[in-house]
A and B are shown apart, each in its own frame.
Chain A
Amino acid sequence: MSKELTEAVIELREQDALQITDRLLAGGTDPLTIVSSCKDAMEVIGQRFACGEAFIPELIMAGEIMKGITAKVKPHLAAQAASDKLGTVIVCTVQGDIHDIGKDIVASMLDIAGFEVVDLGVDVPVTTVVDKVREVHPAVVGLSGLLTVAFETMKSTVAAIDKAGLHQGLKIMVGGAPVNEDVCAFAGADGWAKDAVGAVDLAKTWVGGA
């Protein structure tokens, strides 16, 4: 574990974090050590977000630093075995809505938390979600939306997964700024989360990882 790297990421010192990574790699540090140092840092940032000490810019900046470090580490890293993952999560912004920031943060936090994330993008048709569920058998599907029009498509997406007989053994969560218990019930989802940390916690609870 590199304490220096963990601290640089926590303090969002981008240039420092990248330089430390270069130095560690050149010095022959195990790439997995670098990855876990970053994971530790992301957990701290996630906790700070959950208790109102860090905010969306800090999450996005941390994600950006992680992206930079991952790009450096990847060539040194053997492909991670699928069995190491907590489970597969499909995320998307539902049809009729093109907001991506919240969905992107959730996707990157899930990835860091150890899930295999399949991000279908924004404005995703109901049939695309159903087809992907059939193909990858995820543990969790996360449907995001910021507009009231998204409530309807969340509902029709859940209904289509039900109708295809794919809901069993699968949990569906909804999220996005206006989403609340009413929206969750309206959509027929299994749960909802107020923010990215909540979404990761919920997914972990569902797969027995927390």
Chain B
Amino acid sequence: MFTEDWNELTADQRLETRLDAWQNLPIEFASPEVATAYRDRVQLWRDAVALKKPARVPIAPWIGLFPMRYSGFTGHDAYYDYAKLGQAWDKFHADFRPDGLAMTIAMVPGKVLDILDYKLYDWPGHGVGNDASYQYNEREWMKEDEYDLLINDPSNYWQRYYVPRMFGAAEPWQMLPPFTDLCEAPFTAPFFVPFSLAPVKQMLQKMMDAGDAAMEWLQAFMAIDGKQMATLGIPQMAGSATKAPYDILGDTMRGTRGLMLDKFRRPEKVKAAMERLVPLAVDWALRSADATGNPIVFIPIHKGADGFMSDADYRELYWPTFKAVLLGLIEQGLVPMVFAEGGYNERLEVIADSDIPKGRMIWMFDDTDMARAKQIVGARQAIGGNVPGSLLAMGTPERVDAYVKDLLSKTAVDGGFFLGTGIVLDEADPACFKAFCDAGRTYGAAV
């Protein structure tokens, strides 16, 4: 609950309350000018979300490892060396001054992953090269016959099946009973018996060690982002994140392939599981957003892109539960910022859904026809993104400038647009990235 009278507020009032809080976060700015720059930047976001024409198009690229490479460091440094991470972040933001911070949260602390023996990703220096970006290990982390376990009790499924597979260190959790066993006094002692077993004790010790490492990371991360906000007046891009129910299942539970086969073999189970995941997905974002005071919710979406399923399946399988998540977030005054990776040309009519209140979210696109996206989705919600990673990595500053100029002329003339990248940027030619930011400042103020 964000304020004491939260339950009495309408969704509109909640949104305004959250936006005001974000614009007036209690930050000790380096100077009154920086404080003004921060509030002006948040105002760019507010205006663009509300489909108004901001003073300038907000420059909001998703940034991954690029700052590390720009400073001569590696991905491994980002995951293991907070001093280097901080240096790289300082230099990147000072040199390019975007309107949202690079995603520090995506620089996952390697020490925490090491202690827990994390299985779902490979990360720099662990399964992939020191300078590679993280990658998913696509596997059926949830088995095909486990849908009923998930549907009946997601928390129990997570604790006793999914988490023990996710972390090598958490395997002994399978020995623990579900917490819902705890009720009457006579149930208490039997519940705690497994906690006396050596593997469980070792697991709990590792979890405490991971907690210490995570606390160390949190402090470093807050100091790094806090410094950028206080000295440059750049707000964080998002204060929370969540996922579409279909992607929760498809990305890291059943896997892309597994879920695609489930669509044919057990469609009703897939639907029931996704419905069960809706409130969880809203709650993930809500708790972080309340803690950070930033209402923007980052939602990368994957498995509903063009080619990944038919239009009929998108309408029937993907969209209903994702829409329920979006509406749940909007009801709480949050601003979903969806990042539709891949092509979304076939989905534009569906996502311009009139049940979603106008001017309440942001659709960032990748390989999508932006003029059509503007016409169809832009009539209801802010849009953005699309500048190709390949252009920023292998193009020329002149080509980048021309691309951004053309893009803005098609999409930003009447507001409601965010200049962004079509990918989370790991690789870029610094001259091309500078051209991207410069073009945003030049044409973004003039359109």
Contact = CB atoms under 8 A, between A and B. Distances in A.
The answer to whether A and B interact is: yes
Contacts of A98: 122, 128, 135, 137-138
Nearest to A95: B129
Contacts of B129: 96
A166 interface: no
A183 B133 contact: no
Given A100-B138, A148-B393, A60 B257 contact: yes
A207 B145 CA distance: 44
A96 B391 CA distance: 20
Given A56-B308, A98-B122, A101-B257, A147 B342 contact: no
A124 to B, nearest CB: 13
A27 to B, nearest CB: 27
B190 interface: no
Nearest to B314: A55
A7 to B, nearest CB: 16
Interface stretch (A82-90, A110-118, A126-134, A174-182): A174-182
Contacts of A61: 260-261, 264
Interface in B223-277: 256-257, 260-261, 263-265
A147 B239 CA distance: 26
B261 A151 contact: no
Contacts of A123: 128
A148 B428 CA distance: 10
Interface in A10-52: 12, 14
Contacts of B308: 55-57
A149 B390 contact: no
A193 B18 CA distance: 47
Contacts of A195: 307
A121 to B, nearest CB: 13
Contacts of A100: 138
A119 interface: no
A101 B138 contact: yes
Interface string A95-110: 0111111000000000
Given A101-B256, A148-B393, A182-B394, 13 more contacts: A14-B265, A55-B307, A64-B261, A96-B128, A98-B122, A98-B135, A147-B132, A148-B426, A149-B132, A151-B394, A177-B342, A182-B395, A195-B307
Given A55-B310, A57-B313, A149 B260 contact: no
Interface string A43-81: 000000000001111101100100000000000000000
Contacts of A57: 260-261, 263-264, 308-309, 313
A54 B308 CA distance: 10
Interface in B390-414: 390-391, 393-395
A148 B66 CA distance: 12
Kindly name the residue among A57, A97, A149, A177 whose own CB sees the greatest number of chain B CB atoms within 10 A. Answer: A57
B389 interface: yes
A99 B309 CA distance: 19
Contact of B260 (A60, A96, A177, A182): A60
Contacts of A180: 390
Nearest to A183: B390
Contacts, number: 76
A contact residues, range = 20 to 34
Contacts of B389: 148, 178
B338 interface: no
B112 interface: no
Interface string A166-188: 00000000000110101100100
B282 interface: no
B301 interface: no
Given A56-B309, A98-B122, A147 B264 contact: no
B427 interface: yes
Nearest to A101: B256
Nearest first, the 6 A-B pairs at minimum CB distance are A57-B260, A148-B427, A60-B260, A61-B264, A98-B135, A96-B132
A83 to B, nearest CB: 33
Contact of A148 (B128, B313, B423): B423
A149 to B, nearest CB: 6
Contacts of A60: 257, 260-261
Kindly name the residue among B135, B265, B427 whose own CB sees the greatest number of chain A CB atoms within 10 A. Answer: B135
Kindly name the residue among B265, B393, B426 whose own CB sees the greatest number of chain A CB atoms within 10 A. Answer: B393
Nearest to A58: B310
A42 B264 CA distance: 17
Nearest to A123: B128
Contacts of A14: 264-265
A148 B135 contact: no
A64 to B, nearest CB: 6
A61 B129 CA distance: 33
Nearest to A104: B257
A63 B367 CA distance: 27
Contacts of B261: 57, 60-61, 64
A55 B393 CA distance: 30
A55 B260 CA distance: 10
A97 B135 contact: yes
Nearest to B399: A182
13 contacts: A54-B310, A61-B260, A98-B122, A98-B137, A98-B138, A99-B135, A101-B138, A101-B257, A147-B135, A149-B132, A149-B426, A182-B390, A183-B394
Contacts of A58: 310
Contacts of B264: 12, 14, 57, 61
Kindly name the residue among A55, A96, A180 whose own CB sees the greatest number of chain B CB atoms within 10 A. Answer: A55
